[in-house]
């Protein structure tokens, strides 16, 4: 009799675990686009500075600031080397999300297609729900929006 009772308990535990896995997968599958960005928007505070004021003057609402995205890099099955990507703000304008990077004098932006690709494409790929990447040049009080578009290879 103990053997049958053990099987019933094992079956009940496996059923419960299977139900939990299916439910989590279904929740992930039906998660609305942009929910990752909304979670990110709630994560950080915003320090009022000239850059935030410039963005507000242009119609952006700054949701959060100073984000760090941890990444790991592995070369030929070696140890994982940690690195990170940073962006300065997450903003919204007309119900569209934008990542905001500040252009700093020690690391000026190269305003060519290849320079922008090398510097910003990783952000566009990590956050495909974003409408674009806003670059704020605080010294000149300029704001530019960069969008990537996949074109036909013809």
Tell me: do 89 and 113 sit in the same domain: yes
pTM listed for this prediction: 0.66
137, pLDDT greater than 80: yes
Tell me: do 98 and 124 sit in the same domain: yes
pLDDT at 34: 58
Tell me: do 19 and 40 sit in the same domain: no
In a domain, 152, yes or no: no
Q: What's the CA angle centered on 112, arms 110 and 118, to 5 degrees?
A: 70
Q: pLDDT class for 7, splitting at 50, 70, 90?
A: confident
- For residues 84 and 100, give the distance between their C-alpha atoms in angstroms, rounded to a whole number: 16
In a domain, 43, yes or no: yes
Stretch 2-8: mean pLDDT:
81
User: Which DSSP symbol is given to 30?
Assistant: T
Tell me: do 11 and 47 sit in the same domain: no
Count of structural domains, the chain = 2
Tell me: do 102 and 142 sit in the same domain: yes
* Host domain of residue 133: 35-146
Tell me: do 76 and 129 sit in the same domain: yes
Q: What is the mean pLDDT of the chain?
A: 82
132, pLDDT greater than 60: yes
Tell me: do 22 and 84 sit in the same domain: no
Stretch 131-148: mean pLDDT:
85
pLDDT tens-digit readout, 25-77:
888 777 665 556 666 655 666 667 777 778 888 888 888 878 788 889 999 98
In a domain, 151, yes or no: no
Tell me: do 21 and 80 sit in the same domain: no
- For residues 110 and 124, give the distance between their C-alpha atoms in angstroms, rounded to a whole number: 17
**Which candidate, 151, 128, 129, 133, places its Cα nearest to that of 143?**
133
CB atoms within 10 A of CB 121: 13
5, pLDDT greater than 90: no
**Among 16-25, 34-43, 100-109, the range of highest mean pLDDT:** 16-25
Tell me: do 43 and 119 sit in the same domain: yes
């Amino acid at each position: 009799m103990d053997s049958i009772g053990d099987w019933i308990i094992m079956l009940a535990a496996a059923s419960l675990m299977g139900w939990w896995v299916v439910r989590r997968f279904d929740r992930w599958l039906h998660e609305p686009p942009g929910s990752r960005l909304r979670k990110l928007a709630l994560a950080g505070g915003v320090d009022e500075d000239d850059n935030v004021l410039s963005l507000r003057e242009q119609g952006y609402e700054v949701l959060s600031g100073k984000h760090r995205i941890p990444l790991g890099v592995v070369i030929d099955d070696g140890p994982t080397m940690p690195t990170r990507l940073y962006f300065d703000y997450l903003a919204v304008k007309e119900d569209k999300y934008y990542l905001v990077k500040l252009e700093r004098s020690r690391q000026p932006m190269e305003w060519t297609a290849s320079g922008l690709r090398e510097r910003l494409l990783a952000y566009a790929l990590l956050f495909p729900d974003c409408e674009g990447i806003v670059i704020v040049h605080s010294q000149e009080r300029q704001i530019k929006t960069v969008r990537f578009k996949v074109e036909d290879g013809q």
